[in-house]
Structure 1
Amino acid sequence: MRNTGALGMIVVSLLLGIAAVVVAGKWLNERANLQASTIVVAAHDINVGTRLTPDLLKTIDWPSGSIPSGSFNDIKLLDSRVVKINLYRGEPLLEGKLAPEGTAGGLSGVIADGKRAITVRVNDVVGVAGFALPGSQVDILVNIKDHQNPISKIVLEQILVLAVEQDLGRDEIKPKVVNAVTLEVTPEQAEKLDLARSVGTLSLVLRNQIDRGLGATDGVRTEELLGTKVATTNTNPEAKENVVYKPVDTPMPLVEIIRGLQVESIRDFKKPAHNK
Structure 2
Amino acid sequence: MKNKRAFVVMGIAILFGLAAVVFASRWLLNQPTGASGRIAVANADIGLGQRLSPEMFKLAEWPTESMPKGAFIDPQKLTGRVLKTNLLMGEPVSEAKLAPSGTLGGLSALISEGKRAITVRVNDVIGVAGFALPGNYVDIIVSTQKELQPGSNAHEQSISKIVLERILVLAVAQEVNRDETKPKVVNAVTLEVTPEQAEKLDLARSVGTLSLALRNQVDPQSASTEGATKQTLLPPPPPAQPKPVPAVRPVVVKTAAPVRRDCVSVLNGLRMTQECF
Query: Which TM-score band (shorter chain)?
Result: 0.7 to 0.9
Q: How does 1:125-140 map onto structure 2 within 5 Å?
A: 125-140=125-140
Aligned to 1:107: 107
Letter in 1 for 2:159: I
SS in 1 for 2:18: helix
Q: 2:196 aligns with which of 184, 188, 194?
A: 188
SS at match of 2:140: strand
Match of 1:222 among 212, 219, 230: 230
- Aligned residue number for residue 57 of structure 2: 57
Q: Distance in 2 between matches of 1:116 and 1:90?
A: 33
Do the aligned partners of residues 190 and 73 (structure 1) sit closer, same or farther apart at CA in structure 2, a change above 3 Å counting?
same
What residue in structure 1 maps to residue 184 of structure 2? 176
Alignment match, 1:32 = 33
SS class of match (1:32): coil
In structure 2, how many angstroms separate the alpha carbons of the residues matched to 1:204 and 1:142? 9
Distance 1:160 1:26 in 2: 55
TM-score by length of 1: 0.76
Offset of residue 76 of structure 1:
1.4
Letter aligned with residue 102 of structure 1: G
Question: Could you tell me which amino acid in structure 1 is paired with residue 68 of structure 2?
Answer: P
RMSD value, Cα = 2.1
CA separation in 2, counterparts of 1:156 and 1:22? Answer: 68
Q: Distance in 2 between matches of 1:227 and 1:14?
A: 94
1:1-276 matches, cutoff 5 A: 1-28=4-31, 31-32=32-33, 35-145=35-145, 148-228=156-236
* AA of the residue aligned to 1:101: S
For this pair of structures, how many residues does the alignment match? Answer: 226
In structure 1, C-alpha distance between the alignment counterparts of 2:54 and 2:167, rounded to whole Å: 34
* Deviation (angstroms), 1:104: 0.9
Cα distance change, pair 133–22 in 1 and its aligned pair in 2 (3 A): same
Question: What's the offset of the Cα at 1:123?
Answer: 0.4
Cα drift, residue 202 of structure 1: 0.7
**Does 171-180 or 52-61 show the bigger shift?**
52-61
For residues 51 and 25 of structure 2, what CA distance do their matches in structure 1 show?
Answer: 47
2:54 counterpart letter in structure 1:
P
- Structure 1's unaligned 5+ residue stretches are 230-276
CA–CA separation in structure 2 for the residues paired with 1:10 and 1:90: 51
Change (3 A) 1:56 1:20: farther
SS of the residue aligned with 2:81? Answer: coil
Q: Distance in 1 between matches of 2:88 and 2:72?
A: 16
Percent identity (aligned): 55
Please give the TM-score of this superposition, normalised by the length of structure 2: 0.75
Deviation at 1:158, TM superposition (A): 0.5
- Using the TM superposition, name which of 52-61 and 16-25 deviates more: 16-25
Q: Report how far residue 38 of structure 1 moved.
A: 1.7
Residues 241-271 of structure 1, C-alpha deviations (whole Å, 9 max, x = no match): xxxxxxxxxxxxxxxxxxxxxxxxxxxxxxx
Q: What letter matches 1:120 in structure 2?
A: V
Deviations 1:112-167 (A, max 9, x none): 10011111110011000000000000000111156831111110001000010111
